[in-house]
Amino acid sequence: MKNLWNDGDAEKLVADYAERGVSRDLALRVYTTRLLGGEPRLVLHGGGNTSCKTKATDLVGDEWDVLCVKGSGWDMGVIEPQGLPAVKLGALLKARSLKKLSDEDMVALQRANLIDPSSPNPSVETLLHAFLPHKFVDHTHSTAILAIVDQDDSEALSEKVFGSKMGYVPYIMPGFDLAKAAADVFEADPTVEGLILDKHGIFTFGDDAKQAYDRMIHYVNVAEDFIGRHGKPRTEKAVLPARLATAADLAPMLRGAVAVARGEGRFDRMISDFRTSDAIVDFINSARIADYAGRGVSTPDLSIRIKTGPMALPAPDLAKIGDYKSVIRSHVEAFAKDYRAYFESNDGLDDIKRTMLDPMPRLTLVPGLGMFGHGRTLKDARIASDVGEMWIEAVRGAEAVGDFRPLSKADLFPLEYWSLEQAKLASNKPKPLTGQVVLVTGGAGAIGAATAKLFADNGAHAVIVDLDATKAAEAARKAGNNSIGIGTDITDPGEMRAAFDKAVAVFGGVDILVSNAGAAWEGRIGELDDATLRKSFELNFFAHQSAAQNAVRIMLEQGTGGVLLFNTSKQAVNPGPKFGAYGIPKAATLFLSRQYALDYGAHGIRSNAVNADRIRSGLLTDAMIASRSGARGVSEKEYMSGNLLGQEVTAQDVAQAFLHHALAERTTADVTTVDGGNIAAALR
């Protein structure tokens, strides 16, 4: 591993922060923390922590000796000074004389002694940093170090690798007891330059930021060099089918299998992130991959990301792909059953009241293909995949020098179900559409963009499909929540299929279709040429059918139901003069929505329509408004507000109707009118 310290960069950061009143100590602490946090083989997504002992002034001007330590929720790779809250050091040191200190009291002690009361909670390992006397302390979960400590004989192996330069601390769950034990190990031999924590990671320390950082990189390199020199031959490879199915074949099946059933056709869905590389495939093609996966996580911190460890599937044979859905479901059921047993057996050991987390895997390994990370959001799914890559590296290293034996699941349980994590989970309320994927056609137009934004605001990831790729991308950016835009001619069945395949590739599947795209042609029906009418049918009917077919194809593979929503326009039931080329295919689309409700209701797929009228959009342009108002002999304002409420209806109003249908779990074959009130267009 390369040492990235650069004197020039360090001094520049010190100077930049000095202008903002940040001390040299804290600026250098930020600098090396970012160096460590930018290397995934050391820390991932909030893991690891660093500290420095310095001085700080409180709100009334009193100066204190403090420990600036990484705060909860901060990523080391992008940390700022406020991500290292200052805690009064004297109170922390006094705590060492206590015989015991609960996690809740430890957090209260740390918060009570913050210089800035608005700071984030200091790290759970704050006391360990405090009890070590050095000015700078670094802690990471290096995969190379984990390869050494994830062994049955980890203490002897650590002595062989590091000699007397590193202290060894037997596994203890992070918190007060670990802090005291680590300090005792250091004081037994104050010449050590760091501590190796069994099944956990590494601490290094120094009198300045550079020394602590240099030591971290040095001892990680010692571990990497040892693995490189003493690595044994790789294990036997599994026999793969002659023709493998693809990730696209598997993704909807797998995503449906890991959805959490809530009864009565309701599901908490997951987003899936597929990840592959030569290194990933080479490792998971091992004949022992299921064994490795069953042993657990490489460091306990990963349990909040991938639970008790990955799930391994058999390689998917393309010739038997029709049977593979049941193979996936049987493996998921087995994983969930084992997880429930893990929870029940460990939860019953004391009287603490806990809420079991959902039992679904968060990382799935597929020989020959790669791996899928699962999460309630795309961010969580990607984190699971990132963790999976580092899990592979740690296990590969452990197997190279010995036998991968991580922390037992019984010892893992107290950390996964740490009381403070439980409190966080209880307060974390998902949004109504969290975990769901919506595909919106005509997504860059007024109604489509408003709908995509509203759905994203309610937790969904949006796939915005539009003929103009640039506008689709911009609409996705405005929608937020990792939405994507795709340029697509929806009248081309091949391009429509590709858009849905892209949704599967990025998110794992599709749960909601908003088939919204359309365009209008004017003229008396008897005077229209066939080409114009056929062109309108291609866009205003057949494109809706194509979108629905693709959505249903994916929804049936997922097996978790879904929602088809069609923008059919009031023209479907209340035609306007010279608007037949638009209204006739829209009428067909309205009945198309009902046919889907009829044919696929038994599969939990709902189908509804929204009849909107007079919405300013790419279809109803200023020129069209002038034309239509003229045809009716009214002013433009009267035309746009010509309804029972006397108010103009907006794209946001239509978006609200689509959202209503997405959430109305017991409504199908319905038509909702969004026009401010038009008795002639009322269906009932």
183-187, 422-426, 639-643: least confidently modelled range: 422-426
Quick one: average pLDDT of 175-192?
Answer: 97
Q: What is the DSSP letter of 527?
A: G
Neighbouring CB atoms inside 10 A of 411's CB total 16
pLDDT (0 to 100) of residue 231: 84
* Rounded CA separation 272/254 (Å): 9
* Rounded CA separation 560/568 (Å): 26
The position carrying tokens 């709908």 is 451
Helix, strand, coil distribution of the chain in percent, nearest 5: 50, 15, 35
| Domain 437-676 annotated CATH 3.10.180.10 | no
> Which residue type, as a one-letter code, is found at position 354?
R
With vertex at residue 33, the alpha carbon angle to CA 216 and CA 386, rounded to the nearest 5 degrees, is 85
Fold of 7-230: L-fuculose-1-phosphate Aldolase (3.40.225)
494 pLDDT higher than 90: yes
In 3D space, the residue among 83, 134, 81, 125 whose CA is nearest the CA of residue 107 turns out to be: 125
Q: What percent of the chain has pLDDT over 70?
A: 99
Q: Are 262 and 268 spatial neighbours (Cβ–Cβ below 8 Å)?
A: yes
pLDDT (0 to 100) of residue 422: 66
pLDDT (0 to 100) of residue 202: 98
pLDDT (0 to 100) of residue 423: 63
Domain boundaries, the chain: 7-230, 247-427, 437-676
7-230 and 247-427 share one CATH topology? yes
Q: Are 316 and 249 spatial neighbours (Cβ–Cβ below 8 Å)?
A: yes
Q: What are phi and psi of 57, to 5 degrees?
A: -110, 135
Contacts of 86 (CB under 8 A, 6+ apart): 54, 56, 64, 66, 67, 68, 114, 115, 116, 119
425 pLDDT higher than 80: no
Q: What percent of the chain has pLDDT over 90?
A: 85
**β-bridge partners, 512:** 438, 563
Name which CATH class applies to 247-427: alpha beta
108 pLDDT higher than 70: yes
Residue-wise pLDDT for 564-616, tens only, equals 999 998 888 888 888 899 999 999 999 999 999 999 999 999 999 999 888 88
pLDDT (0 to 100) of residue 189: 97
pLDDT (0 to 100) of residue 355: 86
Mean pLDDT of the chain: 94
State the burial class of residue 577 (Cβ atoms within 10 Å of its Cβ: 0-12, 13-18, 19+): exposed
In 3D space, the residue among 67, 56, 63, 223 whose CA is nearest the CA of residue 140 turns out to be: 223
Q: Which residue has the higher pLDDT, 492 or 45?
A: 492
> Which residue type, as a one-letter code, is found at position 43?
V
Report the run of H or E that residue 305 belongs to, with start and end: helix 303-306
Residue-wise pLDDT for 506-554, tens only, equals 999 999 999 999 888 888 999 889 999 999 999 999 999 999 999 999 9
Catalytic pick from 17, 31, 582, 596?
A: 582
pLDDT (0 to 100) of residue 354: 87
The position carrying tokens 């046919």 is 595
pLDDT band for position 625 (50/70/90)? confident
Neighbouring CB atoms inside 10 A of 633's CB total 8
Strands (DSSP E) contained in 146-245 are 166-169, 194-197, 201-206
Q: Helix H segments across 402-529?
A: 409-416, 419-427, 446-457, 469-479, 493-507
In 3D space, the residue among 250, 283, 241, 247 whose CA is nearest the CA of residue 369 turns out to be: 247
Q: What is the DSSP letter of 579?
A: B
> Which residue type, as a one-letter code, is found at position 171?
Y
- Is residue 417 annotated as part of the catalytic site, yes or no? no
pLDDT (0 to 100) of residue 684: 61
pLDDT (0 to 100) of residue 200: 95
* Rounded CA separation 549/555 (Å): 10
Residue-wise pLDDT for 249-263, tens only, equals 999 999 999 999 998
pLDDT (0 to 100) of residue 427: 62
Q: Helix H segments across 239-302?
A: 247-258, 278-284, 289-295
